Amino acid sequence: MVSIAINYLLILVVVLQLSVYASNTSKLISFSTYLIHRDSLESPLYDSSTNKTNFLERAILRSSSRLSHLKSISKFPNDDPKEINSIDSTVSVSTVYEYLIEISIGTPPIKQLVIFDTGSDNVWTQCLPCVNCFRQTQPKFNSKRSRSYNILTCGGKECGKLGNDKTCEWRYGKCTYTLKYLDNSSSSGDLAMETFKLGNNFFRKMVYGCSNNNIGEYHHTIAGIAGFGPGPHSLISQLSDMVGGKFAYCLVHYSKINTRSKISFGASAIVSGRSTPLVSEYITLEGISVENMAFPVMVGHQRTYTRIPFRSQAILDTGALQSYLPTDLYQQLENFLINVIKLYPTIKYGIFQNCYRFYPNFPTLILHFSRGAELILTRRNTIINNKGLWCLVINPSFNGETIIGSLLQMDYMIGYDLKNGSVSFRATNCSDH
C-alpha cells in the first residue's frame, strides 16, 4: 500500500508540473515569419550573374569580416589590435550578415528589410528627416508621418540602458544614440518608442533607433538592423513578456538558397530535447567527436584518469557561413581527421586551411555542449566544394574564439529560451517548414 501511495504521489507531481507548464505556454503568443538569405531571389542584394561558386566565395570572405566585426563590438577579447585591422579594413555593418528579416515600422506601417543579427542588441533603420543619410533603395521611414512615433528623453529609463552609447544635452532633452563600427563608420539618431509589425502581429511602444546621421560605407539595399542579442533593446528582449523570451529559427541548407528559412516565436518556438545553458550570448563547447566506426575519438579532452574537460565559450552566429575554433582545438581536430580519412589535406586555398583535391570519406562530427546538448554534423554541413576543391568550413581563430557559423546550423531547429537561459537543437529538414 505504501508503494502504491508513493507512486500515486509521483504521478500527481508530474501531472501538476505538466499542468503548470501547459498553463505557462498557453499564455504565450505564438507566431512565425521568415528569414531571407541575402543572395536569394527575394533579397534586394540578389545578383543574377552570381553562380554557386561566386556565392560561396563571397560568403566565406564575409565570414572572415564577421570575425573582425564580433571583436570590434567586444564579443571576444582582442589582445592585438593590429590583428583586427589586418583581417579586413572595411568591415561595416552592411557587409557582415547573411539573413534579412521583414519588419514594418510606424503608423501607418512602412515595410523595411533589415539585417537579422543574433550578435546585435538594437533595432534601428535609416529614418527621415535626415541629417546625413546614405542612399537607400527601400522607402525610408519618415518619423514625422507616423502617428505612433514618440522620442524618448534623456532622463528616461530606456535612454539610461544605452550606457556609453547615448548623448544627452540635458535631462529632458531628446535621447540620442551612437553606434560605432570597426571601419570607423557610425550610425546615430534619436531613440524613440514606435509600433512594429512582425508577421501579422502589431507590437506597440517598442524602443526604436531612428538613424538619421550615418557616417561611412553602407549598402544601399539595407534599411537597418534587427538585433536578437541579449541586450535590453534587442527585438527579442522587448518581446520577451509576450513570447516568454523564446524564439527559434531553422536555416535552409545553402543548396536551396532560394527557399525561405523560418523563424518562430513564443509557444511555437519550443524545441524539445536536451538544452545547453546560455550565459549572455555564449554557450559552452566541451568537445568534438570525430565519429568513425573504426576510430571514435574525442577532441578537446585530455586523456587522463581524471579526464579534465576542455571548455570554450562559443557564439552561435547566423552572420557568418564559416566557423572558427581555438587554434589548439582546431589542430587536434585536423590531426584526427587525417587519421580517419587516411589522407592529408593537399592544399591551403585562400582562407581555407583544410582542402582536398578529391571528395574525401569525411566523417560525421559531433559538437558536444554542456549538459549533453549536441550538434551532429554530416559532411553536408562541414565541407563545401570551392573551385573543384573540397574544403572544411572550420578555420582556426588565433585569439581563441569559438564561432559556430550558419553552415553548421543549417537543417537544425535552434531554439532560444532567454528567460531560462538555454539553447536547444533538433535536427530537421528546414525546407519543409
**pLDDT score for 68:** 60
Among 236, 264, 292, the domain-final residue is 264
**Are residues 169 and 57 located together in one domain of the fold?**
yes
List 39, 88, 190, 317, catalytic entry: 317
Is 138 in the same domain as 204? yes
Q: 23 in a domain, yes or no? A: no
- Residue 3 resides in a domain: no
Residue 416's pLDDT is 95
For residue 290, give the C-alpha cell.
Answer: 570525430
Looking at the fold, whether 343 and 378 belong to one and the same domain comes out as yes
Tell whether 292 and 393 lie within a shared domain: yes
Q: Is 194 in the same domain as 316? A: no
> Is 158:165 a contact under the CB 8 Å cutoff?
no
Domain range for 153 is 30-264
Name the DSSP letter for residue 9: H
Q: Are 174 and 292 members of one domain?
A: no
Q: Are residues 305 and 212 in the same domain?
A: no
Q: Do 99 and 248 sit in the same domain of this protein?
A: yes
- Would you list the DSSP string of 273-337? S-EEE-BTTBEEEEEEEEE-TT--EEET---SSS-PPP-EEEEE-TT-SSEEEEHHHHHHHHHHH
Is the same domain home to 69 and 81?
A: yes
Question: Does a structural domain hold residue 4?
Answer: no
195 plus 323 within the same structural domain: no
Q: What is the pLDDT of residue 85?
A: 38
Residue 348 belongs to a domain: yes
Do 255 and 404 share a domain, yes or no? Answer: no
What pLDDT, on the 0 to 100 scale, is given for residue 124?
93
Q: Residue 10 domain-assigned?
A: no
Structural domains counted in the chain: 2
Boundary (domain end) residue, out of 209, 235, 264 = 264
Task: Give the angle subtended at the CA of 406 by the CAs of 401 and 411, to the nearest 5°.
Answer: 135
Note whether residue 17 is domain-resident: no
Sign of CA dihedral 230, 231, 232, 234: negative
CATH number at residue 35: 2.40.70.10
- The upper half-sphere exposure of residue 98, i.e. CA atoms within 13 Å in the direction of its Cβ, equals 32
399 lies in a domain? yes
Q: Which of 264, 284, 317 is the last residue of a domain?
A: 264
Longest C-alpha distance within the chain, in Å? 80
* Residue 300 within any structural domain of the chain: yes
Q: Is 117 a catalytic residue?
A: yes
Q: How far apart are the first and last CA of the chain?
A: 50
Percentages helix, strand, coil for the chain, rounded to the nearest 5?
A: 25, 35, 40
Give average pLDDT by consecutive 10-residue segment, the chain, 433 residues. 44 36 62 92 77 66 63 50 36 66 96 87 92 87 96 94 86 87 79 96 96 79 86 93 95 91 95 92 91 73 49 88 90 88 74 80 92 94 86 86 93 94 96 80
Name the DSSP letter for residue 347.
B
Burial per residue of 52-89, b for 16 or more beta-carbon CB atoms within 10 angstroms, e otherwise: eeebbebbbbbbbbbbbbbbbbebbebeeeeebeebbe
Residues 200 and 216 in one domain: yes
- Give pTM, 2 decimals: 0.83
- What gap in Å lies between CA 204 and CA 208, rounded to an integer? 11
- H or E element at residue 167: strand 166-167
Catalytic-labelled residue, pool 39, 117, 121, 190: 117
